[in-house]
A and B are shown apart, each in its own frame.
Chain A
Amino acid sequence: AQKITQTQPGMFVQEKEAVTLDCTYDTSDQSYGLFWYKQPSSGEMIFLIYQGSYDEQNATEGRYSLNFQKARKSANLVISASQLGDSAMYFCAIRIPTTGNQFYFGTGTSLTVIP
């Protein structure tokens, strides 16, 4: 079974501090892609970052980085220097080509940035 687990329903972080959002996954496939999406209160889904299962380096995109630990099957999102605009829901997702290229999403983490 393919599964994504996000164990933090809600998180708070002080403005300008860094925060880590946890994501673990469960798949027996060797080839897969890991994604993080942001959903602000307006409702749209915004792509943040991608990590391939064969990538040896952790992915980075601006203030976002992905702490990829393959052996532990974890793909945590790190947001550095948090801003008020980072307050949103964050979803981790896995894409597995052998299952029709569909994404499996976690239940999300609600992040609130405190001024």
Chain B
Amino acid sequence: DAGITQSPRYKITETGRQVTLMCHQTWSHSYMFWYRQDLGHGLRLIYYSAAADITDKGEVPDGYVVSRSKTENFPLTLESATRSQTSVYFCASSESGLSYGYTFGSGTRLTVV
């Protein structure tokens, strides 16, 4: 199916564990993004990528690692999960260009206990 897929939809993990959230898109969009959504903060950018092998930090990158070896995949790894990383994580993709909006994945609800 065409679109952008995030997995898992729900995840519970323990403090200190490494966890990877997956994001896969089928449109070959050049840009991909990871946001976290927390009440009162809206959506905050964690990392983004303009193309394969090109990534850059967003507003809240600490504690997260990304990679993009293929255009269609953009995994987000929490190296050592903390309770403050409990959040809803959205992956998005887009073409470059002013009028192109984001296409969002369905989100991953992560709980760190």
Number of B residues near A (Cβ < 8 Å) is: 26
Instruction: Give B38-81 as 1s and 0s: 1 = Cβ < 8 Å from A's Cβ atoms.
Output: 00111111001010000010100000000000000000000000
Number of A residues near B (Cβ < 8 Å) is: 24
Could you tell me the distance between the alpha carbons of A95 and B58 in the complex, rounded to whole angstroms? Answer: 14
Q: Which of A37, A102, A103, A104 has the most chain B CB atoms closer than 10 A to its own CB?
A: A102
The 9 closest A-B pairs by CB, nearest first: A45-B104, A107-B42, A105-B43, A33-B98, A105-B42, A47-B101, A43-B107, A108-B42, A35-B101
Q: Which of A45, A53, A108 has the most chain B CB atoms closer than 10 A to its own CB?
A: A45
Q: Are B48 and A52 in contact (CB under 8 A)?
A: no
B102 an interface residue at 8 Å Cβ cutoff? yes
Q: Distance in Å from the Cβ of B75 to the closest Cβ of chain A?
A: 19
A32 an interface residue at 8 Å Cβ cutoff? yes
Q: Are B94 and A101 in contact (CB under 8 A)?
A: yes
Chain A positions within 8 Å of B101 at CB level: 35, 47, 50
Q: Are B99 and A33 in contact (CB under 8 A)?
A: yes
